[in-house]
Amino acid sequence: MTNPPLFVVDDLPAPGSSTALTGPEGRHAATVRRIRPGEVVVLTDGRGGLAHAEAGASGKDSLELTVTGVERVEPPLVRVAVAQALVKGDRGELAVETATEAGVDEVIPWRAARSVVRWESGPRGDKALARWRATVREAAKQSRRPWTPEVAEPVTTAQLARRVPEVDLALVLHESADESLASVPIPSAGTVLLVVGPEGGVDDGELAALTDAGARVVRMGPEVLRASTAACVALGALGVLAGRWRPHSIGPA
């Protein structure tokens, strides 16, 4: 039996209420998925809330629903934020898409020294940031995540370094590191900041700024990963090391 389809809404309806799924999600449910009366669907607000509902009549871009139950998925005890350096082309969107599927809780676009693209302030930068946010939203929906990761405003290296003391553990991925990710003690609760450099790597000045702030430089393994895949692989490792891949803790809404 397949899992019921999931749709994203701004706010969850109350248990036992009748509601309508409209807009792009309603169109997708009625026209693309062709949800029929009696089928079960799940709604999420992207903030841990889940509503189970039974489908009723559908229109061209809407689907009537009767809510049968509402619950809340607790956030993970270990939260992972990824500072992803800006990379050219669609590789940046690939990076945040796969990181979302692998469980990232926050994405921080990083204007690294060796980033080819800059995302300067203005319409072009706003458009690029909007693409990352849309990519994360769709990836969270595709992977059926009850929590949609936040995509923060872009930061400079100095701004990123100021975040290091605010987290419980900060890790910079670098191929020259002596310490492996697997050997680092992961906190049982709190926030882990994972820093991923651009295609040209993290330069010496950036490494110094981040380590002076308290970050640890680690490597994944003997191979060198692309800037667009490193976060996903590291998140998989952290999922095991931090016990994040256990079943969700679910309670009443």
Spatial distance between the Cα atoms of 165 and 163, rounded to a whole number of angstroms: 6
H runs (alpha helix) in the chain: 23-27, 91-101, 123-142, 157-163, 204-212, 230-241
> Average pLDDT, stretch 191-217?
96
Distances (CA, A) of 123 to 3, 6, 54, 87, 117: 40, 32, 42, 18, 14
In the predicted model, what is the mean pLDDT of the chain? 92
- C-alpha 212/C-alpha 125 separation (Å) is 29
- For the cut 80, the answer to whether the pLDDT of residue 15 exceeds it is yes
- Summarised one tens digit per residue, pLDDT across range 164-192 is 999 999 999 998 899 999 999 999 999 99
Average pLDDT of the residues in 2-17: 91
Domains and CATH numbers, the chain: 6-73 (2.40.240.20), 78-241 (3.40.1280.10)
- Asked whether the predicted pLDDT for residue 246 surpasses 80, the reply is no
Given a contact cutoff of 8 angstroms between Cβ atoms, the answer to whether 7 and 21 are in contact is yes
Q: How many CB atoms lie within 10 A of CB 74?
A: 12
Name the phi and psi angles at 7, rounded to 5: -130, 150
The residue with greater pLDDT, 59 or 102, is 102
The token pair that represents 198 in the structure block: 């651009």
DSSP state of 183: G
Q: Which pTM was predicted?
A: 0.90
Q: What is the predicted pLDDT for the residue at 248?
A: 66
Q: What percent of the chain has pLDDT over 90?
A: 80
Question: Are 107 and 84 in contact, with CB atoms under 8 Å apart?
Answer: yes
Residue 105 pLDDT > 90: yes
